[in-house]
Each structure stands twice: as structure tokens, then as C-alpha cells.
Structure 1
Amino acid sequence: MTTNNAYTYGQIARAIEHLTANFREQPSLAELAEKVNMSEFHFQRLFTDWAGVSPKKFGQYLTLEHAKQQLRAGSSLTDVAYEAGLSGTGRLHDLFVSIEGVTPGQFKQAGAGLVLSYGIFDSPFGAYVLGAINKKIAVLHFLNDGEKAEELLPIAWPGAQIQHNPETLQSLADQAFPVTGTLNLPPDKPLALLLRGSTFQLKVWEALLKIPEGRLASYDQIAEAIGQPTASRAVGTAIGSNPVGYLIPCHRVIKKTGLFGGYRWGTERKQAMLGWEAARLNR
């Protein structure tokens, strides 16, 4: 595991937290740099290297009005994006992801008889634990302070045999977060996910895959997309239990008012992901 990205993300996250809380006052570069104990020059360079845009421009992607504009622009989301799937909808998510649910018997056994290999890796959004069964990603969990992979994995797959084996997962980690930021896999080589979930949860998680990178959807829009327009609360619960962070982009779902809402792996991380994707798309 490398730590450079994790450390950089920690610095950036603190700046984003301050920027988000005070965007109406438009914090100056000097103010943001002071919050992370850096010189203005070093902070500007670090932030721009990470996001691809200046802190000022990034702040524009985090405003409430921008979120509302995205939702309004997504009026065709249900009609177009959910029909189109992932093809051509974003740079990183040109990566083709396929979902496979476990059988009812495997679901009941909670992974008994299966081996869940795991490792801890680095990403633009901090360290994460990656777990896979037979080369299919079963867990991608961003690590918050104090969390340990050894304690998290049995919760997700209580019956599986847990093995620390990062070497066998390096190729999957490289596909999940390519070093270059862009990856085009041939159609016959999808990045496969193996998920334990109810039929309803799987439908919600599949719908999330169809939200284009840099775009947003509301809980209501997801409920409509899966044919259950009155189930927005249940949709929110299913999104909150998503076991594969980022690749199943639950961070792209916000409240219909434009507010970002909560996130399983921290509000600052969600804001970082949304701003990072918007910056990449609008560069």
C-alpha cells in the first residue's frame, strides 16, 4: 500500500470541508492554505494537481446552486442515461462494471465456503479496503479514522474465510483507480462485482451504475428509474448499504433540494468525489 494519495487526500479534504462550509463567503486562497498549514503557492499547486482545477473553480462545483443546476439538467436522466448504461458517459467509468448477485443459497449462507481475499490500497480519496471472491469485487470500503479491515469484512461476509492477500488483488485495484485517471477496458473484460443483497437492493445498485460521471440524480429519480416511484425512502436505505464504494457511484445521489446529504464514507469524501468528477468533466 502506498500512502502518498491518502496523505494528499487528507490535506485536500480539510480544505474542502472549510470551503464547503463557507462557500458563500468565497474563502480566499490564503485562508484555505492556512487551514491546511501550507504556503499559498504549495497549496494551490497541490490542489490543482489533485483536482485539475484551482480551489476557487472547485468551490464553484460544490455550491448548492450548481447542484440544483445539475439536477435540472438531469431532467432527461430517467429517459436517456438510465437507458444508455455506462457507455461513453464518463472518463473513469468508461470502465465497464457488471454486477452479479449471489445465489439465494449463498446469500443465506453469508459466504460460507467462500474465500474473501482482501488488501488495503490507496486512492485519490484516501485508503480503502478491497475484498474479492474469485476475482470479483465484493467490498470496496473507504477507511475512516480508526477503522480496521479485519473488523469490517466479517460484517459484509460473515460466513466467508478472510485472507489477507493484497498481491492477488493489485490488478483489480489498478482497474478501480487507474494511475492515469483513465482506463478503457475491452468489452469482454468487465470489472465484475459479486454482491450480497435483496432483489430491490440489486436493482438500486444497478441503477446507480447508469448515472453518468459528473452528473447527479435525486433519490426520487432513482426510485422512478427502477419503477417504484413511491419508494424513495427505501432507495435511500439501499444506497446507504452499498458495499462497493465509488465503483457503484452512490456518491452521485443527492437530495432533490440540491443538498448533498450524507454519505456512508463521510460527507467530505462525497463532496470531494463530486467536485473531482465535475472538475474532470469540465476541464
Structure 2
Amino acid sequence: MPRRSFSAPTAIAADPLDLARRLLDEGEPSLADLASHTGLSASHLQRRFRARFGLSPAEYLARKKLGTLKAALREGRDVTTALYDAGYGSPSRLYEQGAAKLGMTPATYRAGGRGVAIRWTLVDTVLGRTLVAATERGICAIELGEDDTALERRLRDEFPHAQLERVEAGRDDFLAPRLQAVAERLAGREADVPVDLLGTGFQQRVWDALMKVPEGETVSYAGLARQLGAPRAARAVASACAHNRIAVVVPCHRVIRGDGSLGGYRWGLPRKQQLLARERG
């Protein structure tokens, strides 16, 4: 399947980086194509695009295609149709580019994680009872609550067909170091926590942007939508925050309403207040 064509917007954007992103959203231009349409050199465009959006143009395009694929699979479309609609030229290209980032094959993702190994445990943290779950690629869920049964139910609802294995906290060579890193982050200290973010392309863009909001600062739903170049998508941003499964590490607690009120929080407004007060202090 040939590279998808694209055409430059009729109204040239004042900002060459915004124009480059619009071209990527509309087709599959090469870096040379983008440089030609924006008037920047390829190397300069590459550097500035990564500085603005956190991804190279090629990575941005790959993320967009993967998001389209995931959304189609979630809707129940067959893998062959989904892969071509997403812009993968062949099944081999899909498995080279897509399966590795899904953390599972597309068919398995569509089947609710069937066969994927997820290890999880329950631990006490400074924020209360916490469920931590991980695939081989990283943390896929951090759920906060008080009731162990409810926490486990959330995990099983999220990954209904995965191979879920409960392990003893601190006694599993795979999960133990990840648990320590999670505990550090929940306590407000720096720690590198590898994550396995599974969601639509837009959700991943929101979650990526959230992880760039500095500690002690907040952003409004509308403000985050504007940062993403989708100023009318404040509700979609709020929905992405509500679907975030990784508490604190993906800091959706730093998103508030435009009037300064807290808005919602998957793990309860008292915890959101607690987290914001701690970070501001």
C-alpha cells in the first residue's frame, strides 16, 4: 500500500510547527515534505518539533497511526480492515510498528488483553490502599481505594481476558522494583516509573501532556486542549483524564476547571485536594 498522500492546508498557518502538525494529521508526509511546506530545514524542523510536542515528526505520525488502530480494534473492527485504515501498508508493517507499542498483538488488544500476562499486588502507601499492576513493558494500572475487592474488580473490568496473577508485594523479582518506584512517586519523591499506556491516540496525547505539567502547577481542561492544538476538545480532555488508570504517575490531579474549582477525579476529590496541597507545599 503506497504512502498516503497529503495536501497542505489552504490557509497557511503562521506557526510552521502548527502547520507541520496539521500536515501530519492529514496525511503521511516525509520529513523532506514537511521541511518544504514549512520553510524550515529538515534538521531545524526536527529539533523544534520535538521541543514543542515531545516527539519527532516520525514518532508523532507513528503515534497517530497506532491510536487510530487501537480505536478501531476497540470498536470491534477486524484486524485487516483496521490496519489498512490506520495507514499500515501490510500486516508485517503493523506487527513491526504497532504490536510492540501495544504491548500485545492487535488481535489480543481487541480481545480485551486475552493471554497477556499482568502481575499485580495490593500495598499500603501514603495515599492509602493501592493496587499496582504491570505488563512486561511497564506499569499499566495504579488504582487507589479502601476496599481490596473493589480495587481488584476494577482491574478485572479493565483487562477482562488477561492472565492476571496476584503476587506477594516485595517477593516477586519482576514487580518488586517497580513497586518501590511507584511507592516513591506516591510519596511525592522522584523515581523513574516505566508505564505501559494503553488508550486511543488522543488519550495518549493527553496523558503525555499531563506528565509534562510541573509539580506544584495546574492546568485547566480548556488550557490543556489548547496546548494539544484542539481548543474545542476540553470535554475530550476531561474524558481522557477520567480514563487514566495510572494514578499520580500520570498526574491528572493537576487538571482543574477554568474557574479554579477542582473538577472531577477518578479516585475522589479529597485525594485530589491532598495531592495538590502536598505539591504546592
Give yes or no for TM over 0.5. Answer: yes
Q: Helix, strand or coil: the match of 2:125?
A: coil
Deviation at 1:137, TM superposition (A): 0.4
Larger-gyration structure (1/2): 2
**Partner of residue 131, structure 1:** 133
**Partner of residue 178, structure 1:** 184
Q: Which structure is higher in RCO with an 8 Å CA cutoff and minimum separation 6?
A: 1
**Partner of residue 156, structure 2:** 154
**Partner of residue 13, structure 2:** none
Amino acid at match of 2:142: L
**Partner of residue 265, structure 1:** 267
| Equivalent-residue separation in structure 2 for 1:144 and 1:160 (angstroms) | 24
8 Å CA contact 2:193, 2:249 repeated in 1: no
> Residues 9-58 of structure 1: CA distance to partner in whole angstroms, max 9, x if unpaired?
xxxxxxxxxxxxxxxxxxxxxxxxxxxxxxxxxxxxxxxxxxxxxxxxxx
Q: Is 1:118 aligned to residue 120 of structure 2?
A: yes
Deviation at 1:105, TM superposition (A): 3.5
Q: Is 1:225 aligned to residue 231 of structure 2?
A: no
8 Å CA contact 1:144, 1:265 repeated in 2: no
**Partner of residue 239, structure 1:** 241
**Partner of residue 40, structure 2:** none
Amino acid at match of 2:224: I
Deviation at 1:83, TM superposition (A): 4.3
Amino acid at match of 1:192: P
| Equivalent-residue separation in structure 1 for 2:226 and 2:53 (angstroms) | 16
8 Å CA contact 1:117, 1:163 repeated in 2: yes
Deviation at 1:274, TM superposition (A): 0.3
Deviation at 1:145, TM superposition (A): 4.2
Judged with a 3 Å threshold, the aligned counterparts in structure 2 of structure 1 residues 135 and 104 are, in CA distance, closer, same or farther, namely: closer
**Partner of residue 205, structure 1:** 207
Deviation at 1:224, TM superposition (A): 1.1
| Equivalent-residue separation in structure 2 for 1:247 and 1:266 (angstroms) | 16
8 Å CA contact 1:101, 1:197 repeated in 2: no
Q: Which moved more, 1:147-156 or 1:122-131?
A: 147-156
8 Å CA contact 1:101, 1:202 repeated in 2: no
> Residues 68-95 of structure 1: CA distance to partner in whole angstroms, max 9, x if unpaired?
xxxxxxxxxxxxxx9497xxxxxxxxxx
Amino acid at match of 1:183: E
> Residues 129-162 of structure 1: CA distance to partner in whole angstroms, max 9, x if unpaired?
0001115101100014475333121111111011
Amino acid at match of 1:124: V
Q: Identity of paired residues, percent?
A: 32
Amino acid at match of 2:189: T
| Equivalent-residue separation in structure 2 for 1:175 and 1:131 (angstroms) | 13
Judged with a 3 Å threshold, the aligned counterparts in structure 2 of structure 1 residues 117 and 153 are, in CA distance, closer, same or farther, namely: same
Match of residue 198, structure 2, among 196, 203, 207: 196
> Residues 205-239 of structure 1: CA distance to partner in whole angstroms, max 9, x if unpaired?
11111100110000011111211110101110111
| Equivalent-residue separation in structure 2 for 1:147 and 1:266 (angstroms) | 18
* Equivalences, count: 179
TM-score by length of 2: 0.59
| Equivalent-residue separation in structure 2 for 1:83 and 1:122 (angstroms) | 38
8 Å CA contact 1:122, 1:128 repeated in 2: yes
> 1:1-283 counterparts in 2 under 5 A?
83=52, 101-102=102-103, 104-134=106-136, 136-145=138-147, 147-165=149-167, 166=169, 167-168=171-172, 169-178=175-184, 181-183=188-190, 190-279=192-281
TM-score by length of 1: 0.58
CA RMSD, Structure 1 to Structure 2 (Å): 2.3
